[in-house]
Homo-oligomer: A and B are copies of this chain.
Amino acid sequence: MAVHHETLTVETRTKVSTIDITARLRAAVTRSKVTNGICVVAVQHTTAGVFVNENADPAVQKDLLSHLGKLVPRDEEFAHAEGNADAHIKSVLTGNDVSLAIRDGELVLGRWQGVYFADFDGPRERHAIVTVIGD
């Protein structure tokens, strides 16, 4: 059995954004030399998330971030005094880890699926740990 870790660094440029990390995950899977197994992506921050969604029309990411902003408005009254309570809540709603299958040396994703890193309190340098485990 092989276990392969990589740290993925993401530089975000705006307050709220999503970044397609699919190609970087595919490269990590190739480097791991794992043929069959799983890949876990775990964000190392509490105001960021990771999820799988459409990679074709950028409007989907825009709608998602806009709607999350309606569900958790930044200017609502919160007890946490740093002004980013909304980002903590969005991180829990989207989740901050994703598990995917690896088959025949490839990450298994549907035709329209991409893996997105979401920053809800940028811009910052962000990190996720990618773990590939299999044979």
Contact = CB atoms under 8 A, between A and B. Distances in A.
Given A42-B99, A54-B46, A133-B38, A85 B108 contact: no
B1 A135 contact: yes
A19 interface: no
Interface stretch (A9-17, A22-30, A73-81): A73-81
A92 interface: yes
A67 B59 contact: no
A88 interface: yes
A45 B3 CA distance: 27
Contacts of A62: 79-80
Contacts of A67: 72, 76, 78, 85, 89
Interface string A64-76: 1011100110001
Contacts of A21: none
Contacts of A92: 51, 53, 64, 94
Interface in A20-53: 36-38, 40, 42-46, 51-53
Given A93-B94, A97-B98, A101-B129, 17 more contacts: A5-B108, A37-B133, A38-B133, A42-B101, A42-B108, A43-B110, A46-B112, A53-B88, A54-B88, A59-B79, A59-B80, A62-B79, A63-B79, A64-B89, A64-B92, A67-B76, A93-B93
